[in-house]
């Protein structure tokens, strides 16, 4: 049994109030669970939430019949909570022990902190920062990290700290340690590789398991590695795409969160495919980051269940 509590706001006892049609974000909780499928799971969780005064706003579930695994996402309102968050969490822990659950419980009054890693391509960085500024991504972005100085003006434009960490083959491990220190210093919850053209070491990804999202400019598992659009052009494909996935120790083989495609034709040269692909990359990465932030993604094996 594994249990992870996302950091929330101050835990406190809430007095009873009239139920609102539109609860304030600070009163919204999200519970994600996965466990071996058996009877009584849904009823047990509903009973726990009801017994503590939480009001279930939505519940989505999925059963993988081939694996015998059950997945559920519950969004609930704590406006009329009868106890406090600690008591509710303890009750969820007891259910987790009973049903051998993996559990993630988070509250909307905490905004995840995201670090964006980039190299010299700006399209994904611009898109993420615009989505954040417009309120589409409910998070904090305290840091942009790059192995080049090229995109510093963009970070400055959005008022975000930019850290230049140059990397060579000889300095890679030492510089990666500096990056990890920066992440720890800024209390980063999620790392987004927005066309960061460096391969992270297994030690790095192990410190942020399923908390590093990469955008690969190809429809994986086809055309892994470098220059996938050139590979696609050589094969004469009629569809090109992009894949957002969790980065793991195995290059381009982590659990896939989101993918999309766009039409290509014999008239397109590699530059045309790159241009078309950038549009897809932006959209795919934006959706993957938002779904992760909103606690919609569950990892099972090397796959994901995404509650849309």
Cis amide leading into 221 (omega within 30): yes
Residue in 147, 51, 135 with CA at minimum distance from that of residue 94: 51
pLDDT digits (tens, 9 = 90+) for 1-37: 444 554 443 333 333 334 446 788 789 999 999 999 9
Angle among Cα 83, 84, 88 to the nearest 5 degrees reads 85
Residues with a catalytic annotation lie at 252
Give the pair of three-digit tokens for residue 114. Answer: 């995201």
Strands 28-36 and 102-107: antiparallel
Average pLDDT, the chain: 89
Positive/negative CA dihedral, 227, 190, 304, 262 = negative
Residues 172 and 291 in one domain: yes
- Residue 170 · residue 140 · CB < 8 Å: no
Residues 214 and 199 in one domain: yes
Residues 170 and 257 in one domain: yes
Residues 125 and 252 in one domain: yes
Residues 160 and 284 in one domain: yes
List Cβ neighbours of 273 (8 Å cut-off, separation of 6 or more).
Answer: 229, 232, 233, 240, 264
- Strand-pair partners of 263: 239
Question: Distance between CA atoms of 242 and 256, rounded to whole angstroms?
Answer: 11
Residues 87 and 180 in one domain: no
DSSP string, 193-221: ESS--SPPPHHHHHHSTT-EEEEESS-TT
Residues 92 and 133 in one domain: no
Give the pair of three-digit tokens for residue 36. Answer: 């071996």
The whole-number pLDDT of residue 4 equals 57
CATH number, domain with residue 254: 3.40.50.170
Q: Which of 82, 107, 132 is the last residue of a domain?
A: 107
Residues 135 and 276 in one domain: yes
Residues 94 and 145 in one domain: no
CATH number, domain with residue 66: 3.30.70.260
- Strand-pair partners of 164: 146
Place of tokens 């019949």: 65
Residue in 32, 10, 160 with CA at minimum distance from that of residue 86: 10
Question: Distance between CA atoms of 201 and 281, rounded to whole angstroms?
Answer: 23
Q: Which of 107, 136, 152 is the last residue of a domain?
A: 107
Question: Distance between CA atoms of 135 and 147, rounded to whole angstroms?
Answer: 28
Which residues of the chain have a pLDDT value below 70?
A: 1-21, 219-226, 228-229, 232-233, 237
pTM above 0.85, yes or no: yes
CA 167 to chain CA centroid, Å, is: 26
Residues 123 and 168 in one domain: yes
Q: Which of 73, 107, 141 is the last residue of a domain?
A: 107
> In the chain, how many domains are there?
2
The whole-number pLDDT of residue 233 equals 61
Residues 150 and 297 in one domain: yes
Give me the half-sphere count of Cα atoms (radius 13 Å) on the Cβ side of residue 150: 12
The whole-number pLDDT of residue 234 equals 72
Cis amide leading into 266 (omega within 30): no
pLDDT digits (tens, 9 = 90+) for 48-102: 999 999 999 999 999 999 999 999 999 999 999 999 999 999 999 999 999 999 9
Residues 13 and 126 in one domain: no
Question: Distance between CA atoms of 269 and 181, rounded to whole angstroms?
Answer: 42
Q: Which domain holds residue 91?
A: 2-107
| Helices 85-99 and 41-51, packing angle to 10 deg | 160
The whole-number pLDDT of residue 5 equals 52
């Amino acid at each position: 049994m594994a249990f992870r509590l996302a950091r929330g706001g101050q835990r406190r006892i809430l007095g009873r109030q009239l139920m609102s049609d539109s609860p304030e974000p600070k009163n919204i909780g999200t519970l994600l669970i996965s466990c071996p499928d058996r009877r009584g799971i849904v009823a047990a969780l509903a009973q726990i939430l009801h017994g503590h005064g939480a009001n279930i706003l939505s519940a989505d579930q999925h059963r993988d019949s081939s694996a015998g695994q059950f997945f559920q996402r519950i969004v609930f309102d704590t406006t009329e909570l009868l106890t406090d968050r600690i008591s509710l969490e303890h009750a969820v822990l007891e259910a987790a022990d009973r049903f051998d659950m993996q559990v993630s419980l988070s509250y909307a009054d905490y905004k995840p902190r995201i670090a964006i890693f980039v190299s010299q391509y700006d399209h994904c960085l611009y898109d993420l920062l615009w989505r954040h500024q417009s309120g589409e991504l409910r998070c904090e972005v305290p840091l942009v990290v790059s192995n080049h100085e090229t995109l510093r003006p963009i970070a400055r434009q959005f008022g975000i700290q930019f850290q230049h960490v140059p990397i060579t083959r000889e300095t890679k491990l030492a510089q990666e340690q500096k990056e990890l220190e920066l992440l720890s210093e800024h209390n980063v919850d999620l790392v987004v590789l927005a066309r960061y053209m460096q391969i992270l070491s297994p030690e790095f990804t192990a410190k942020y398991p399923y908390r590093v999202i990469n955008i690969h400019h190809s429809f994986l598992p086809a055309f892994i590695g470098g220059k996938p659009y050139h590979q696609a052009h050589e094969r004469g494909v009629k569809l090109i795409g992009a894949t957002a996935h969790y980065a793991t120790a195995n290059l381009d083989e982590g659990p896939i969160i989101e993918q999309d495609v766009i039409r290509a034709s014999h008239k397109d040269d590699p530059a045309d495919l790159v241009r078309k692909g950038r549009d897809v990359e932006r959209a795919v990465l934006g959706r993957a980051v938002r779904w992760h932030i909103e606690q919609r993604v569950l990892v099972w094996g090397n796959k994901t269940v995404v509650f849309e």
